[in-house]
């Protein structure tokens, strides 16, 4: 058995293209291209430049046609979550899609939940209330009387949009659709009650297809431009976390995962959505997974905090992420305690200033120097992971005996060590490129090269080097955790799940 696949992993900071070669149940990933993806500001709002991204996609396909001896068996695209494009009735995109960090969604949760209560909304969708969810982005457009809604004939989520641009076919992939807060996972369809409340026709939504479905073939036009024609475009686990979780190299069911990157997505895999009083209270979310699974998880702010600090400090010094981790490892521990999920950190003008302001408001002094602040961020993330782990244990009957960290954050050895010490559990780190691996392996499953999710994970276990961290004394972390909970009470988190 031998096949190759082209996988695009588009994140909120960068995009990457990989050629994944599957041979004898082992996967080799070769990075073909890497390109920036930045929010652009237009008329006071943040958008994604989809045309620049599509040019990069076509460029990578062309490079693949020249570099790879045989054409790939398939092409799959995954992206960050919740964002979408509106298309007119002739199929033309109506402007650049808004970016989820745009401030147009302020006040939308409060506004929409006057129409449908929080409890009813969660009962219908199983999705945590976060103001940038697709639902609240649409509500902001309704509230602000956006003229785009009058022109719109179709809505396509980001990976579905690029699939459409490659093939001319409109579909919605399941794992992404479930994150929108427009989809009812119990019925497996768009929730009409929500569209009625919005005053928008559900007719703009597309047929929902499962990961592994062939959406169409590379169009003749794109084939001419890129040198590859007739290649199947496959709806992989197109929400990037769905692909990452599919490639977690785990066995059994006594584990939790953290997909660590710009966001940290921490949760467990279940067979059905978990919609209970506790899951509502803790504001957990249920998102579709590969092979009919459910990802029961919590969004945590993640390495976005570090990315934005690094950006703010670039005028003084351009740090690598490895340098920042090394510096933090030498800094004094627990100089201050922060909740990384405080709303002020969503997209402040200056992240270091926002953190210093937060620490001041909670009666703490900001550390002097960059190393101390990085350590506070890392410790805050590990303490938040512990809190989410304790919430998971309250809602899940099965034990949780280890944590798998996948994604870019898995190579941050300091954060992995802190996570193990804070939670008291062993941490297995890797693979770094879990999203690309899951993307490729879901394509392979769709075309019959693999037959199950366990097949996918077996390949992941045999293909990537993993590192294990064991807890080394948690007493100081126990004390820090009590401080963390106290600081959270002081900071007045807006919802009971934070």
Span 342-360, pLDDT tens digits: 989 999 999 999 999 999 9
Q: What pLDDT score does 21 carry?
A: 96
| pLDDT at position 128 over 70 | yes
Q: What pLDDT score does 397 carry?
A: 86
Q: How confident is the model at residue 258 (pLDDT cuts 50, 70, 90)?
A: very high
Give the side-chain half-sphere CA count within 13 A for 402: 17
- In the block, tokens 């696949």 appear at 5
- In the block, tokens 């244990």 appear at 393
Spatial separation of the C-alpha atoms in residues 478 and 17, rounded to whole Å: 42
**pLDDT, greater one: 25 or 40:** 40
| pLDDT at position 67 over 70 | yes
Q: How confident is the model at residue 474 (pLDDT cuts 50, 70, 90)?
A: confident
Chosen CATH of 2-239 out of 3.60.20.10, 3.40.50.1970, 3.40.50.261, 3.30.420.40 = 3.30.420.40
Sign of dihedral through CA atoms 92, 185, 137, 436? negative
| pLDDT at position 497 over 70 | no
The predicted model gives 260-264 an average pLDDT of 94
Q: How confident is the model at residue 293 (pLDDT cuts 50, 70, 90)?
A: very high
Q: How confident is the model at residue 498 (pLDDT cuts 50, 70, 90)?
A: very low
Q: How confident is the model at residue 371 (pLDDT cuts 50, 70, 90)?
A: very high
Cα 434 to Cα 27, 198, 254, 414, 481, distances in angstroms = 11, 36, 20, 19, 30
β-sheet with 26-36: strand ranges across: 26-36, 14-23, 2-10, 74-79, 232-235, 213-217
| pLDDT at position 473 over 90 | no
Span 194-205, pLDDT tens digits: 999 999 999 999
SS (H, E, C) the chain: CEEEEEEEEECCCEEEEEEEEEECCEEEEEEEEEEECCEEEECCEEEECHHHHHHHHHHHHHHHHHHCCCCCCEEEEEECCCCEEEEECCCCECCCCECCCCHHHCCHHHHHCCCCCHHHHHHHHCCCCCCCCHHHHHHHHHHCCCCHHHHEEEEEEHHHHHHHHHHCCCCEEHHHHCCCCCEECCCCEECHHHHHHHCCCHHHCCCEECCCEEEEECCHHHHHHHCCCCCEEEECCCEHHHHHHHCCCCCCCCEEEEEECCCEEEEEEECCCCCCHHHHHCCCEEEECHHHCEEEEEEECCCHHHHHHHHHHCCCCCCCHHHHHHHHHHCCCCCCCCCCCCHHHCCCCCHHHHHHHHHHHCCCCCCCCHHHHHHHHHHHHHHHHHHHHHHHHHHCCCCCCEEEEECHHHHCHHHHHHHHHHHCCCEEECCCCHHHHHHHHHHHHHCCCCCCHHHHHHHHHHHCCCEEECCCCCHHHHHHHHHHHHHHHHHCCCCCCC
The predicted model gives 484-498 an average pLDDT of 70
The predicted model gives 249-256 an average pLDDT of 96
Of all residues in the chain, the percent with pLDDT exceeding 70 is 98
To the question of domain 250-430+466-498 being in CATH 3.30.420.40, the answer is yes
**Residue of 83, 240, 339, 421 marked catalytic:** 240
Q: What pLDDT score does 12 carry?
A: 86
| pLDDT at position 494 over 80 | no
What pTM did the predictor assign? 0.93
Of the candidates 11, 2, 8, the one whose C-alpha atom is nearest the C-alpha of residue 261 is 11
Spatial separation of the C-alpha atoms in residues 403 and 423, rounded to whole Å: 9
| pLDDT at position 45 over 70 | yes
- Give catalytic status of residue 240 as yes or no: yes
Domains 2-239 and 250-430+466-498 share a fold: yes
Span 73-90, pLDDT tens digits: 999 999 999 999 999 999
Cα 13 to Cα 20, 75, 160, 263, 300, distances in angstroms = 22, 21, 19, 11, 17
Q: How confident is the model at residue 496 (pLDDT cuts 50, 70, 90)?
A: very low
Span 395-438, pLDDT tens digits: 998 999 999 999 999 999 999 999 999 999 999 999 999 999 99
Domain boundaries, the chain: 2-239, 250-430+466-498
Q: How confident is the model at residue 1 (pLDDT cuts 50, 70, 90)?
A: low
Contact 407/16 with Cβ under 8 angstroms? no
The predicted model gives 131-137 an average pLDDT of 97
- Average pLDDT taken over every residue of the chain: 95
Q: How confident is the model at residue 70 (pLDDT cuts 50, 70, 90)?
A: confident
| pLDDT at position 377 over 60 | yes
Spatial separation of the C-alpha atoms in residues 341 and 130, rounded to whole Å: 11
Contact 435/244 with Cβ under 8 angstroms? yes
| Residue 349, C-beta contacts closer than 8 angstroms, at least 6 positions apart | none
């Amino acid at each position: 058995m031998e096949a190759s696949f082209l996988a695009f992993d588009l994140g909120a900071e960068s995009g990457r293209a990989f050629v994944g070669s599957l041979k004898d149940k082992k996967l080799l990933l070769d990075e073909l291209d890497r390109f920036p993806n930045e929010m652009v500001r237009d008329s006071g709002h943040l958008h994604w430049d989809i045309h620049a991204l599509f040019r990069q996609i076509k460029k990578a396909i062309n490079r693949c046609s020249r570099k790879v001896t045989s054409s790939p068996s398939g092409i799959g695209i995954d992206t960050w979550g919740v964002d979408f494009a509106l298309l007119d009735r002739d199929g033309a995109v109506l402007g650049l899609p808004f970016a989820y960090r745009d401030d147009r969604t302020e006040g939308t949760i409060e506004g929409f939940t006057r129409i449908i209560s929080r409890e009813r909304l969660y009962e219908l969708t199983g999705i945590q209330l976060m103001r940038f969810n697709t639902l609240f982005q649409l509500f902001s457009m309704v509230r602000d009387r956006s003229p785009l809604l009058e022109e719109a004939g179709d809505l396509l989520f980001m990976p579905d949009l690029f699939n459409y641009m490659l093939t001319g076919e409109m579909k919605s992939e399941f794992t992404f659709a479930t994150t929108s807060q427009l989809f009812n996972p119990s019925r497996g369809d768009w929730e009409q009650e929500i569209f009625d409340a919005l005053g928008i026709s559900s007719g703009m939504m597309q047929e929902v297809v499962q990961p592994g479905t062939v959406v169409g073939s590379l169009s003749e036009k794109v084939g001419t431009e890129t040198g590859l024609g007739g290649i199947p475009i496959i709806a992989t686990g197109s929400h990037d976390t769905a692909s990452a979780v599919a490639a977690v190299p785990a066995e059994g069911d006594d584990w939790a995962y953290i997909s660590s990157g710009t966001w940290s997505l921490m949760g467990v895999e279940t067979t059905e959505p978990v919609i209970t009083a506790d899951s509502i209270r803790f504001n957990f979310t249920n998102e579709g997974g590969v092979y009919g699974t459910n990802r029961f998880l919590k969004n945590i702010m993640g390495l976005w905090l570090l990315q934005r600090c690094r950006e703010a400090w670039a005028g003084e010094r351009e740090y690598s992420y490895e340098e920042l981790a090394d510096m933090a490892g030498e800094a004094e521990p627990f100089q201050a305690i922060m909740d990384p999920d405080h709303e002020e950190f969503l997209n402040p003008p200056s992240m270091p200033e926002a953190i210093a302001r937060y620490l001041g408001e909670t009666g703490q002094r900001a550390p002097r120097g960059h190393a101390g602040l990085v350590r506070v961020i890392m410790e805050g993330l590990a303490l938040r992971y512990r809190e989410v782990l304790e919430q998971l244990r309250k809602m899940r009957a099965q034990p949780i005996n280890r944590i798998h960290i996948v994604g870019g954050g898995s190579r941050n050895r300091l954060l992995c060590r802190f996570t193990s010490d804070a939670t008291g559990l062993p941490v297995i780190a890797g693979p770094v490129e879990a999203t690309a691996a899951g993307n490729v392996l879901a394509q392979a499953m769709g075309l019959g090269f693999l037959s199950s999710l366990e097949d996918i994970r077996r390949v992941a276990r045999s293909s990537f080097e993993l590192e294990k961290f064991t807890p080394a004394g948690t007493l100081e972390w126990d004390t820090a955790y009590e401080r963390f909970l106290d600081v959270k009470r002081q900071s007045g988190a807006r919802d009971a799940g934070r």
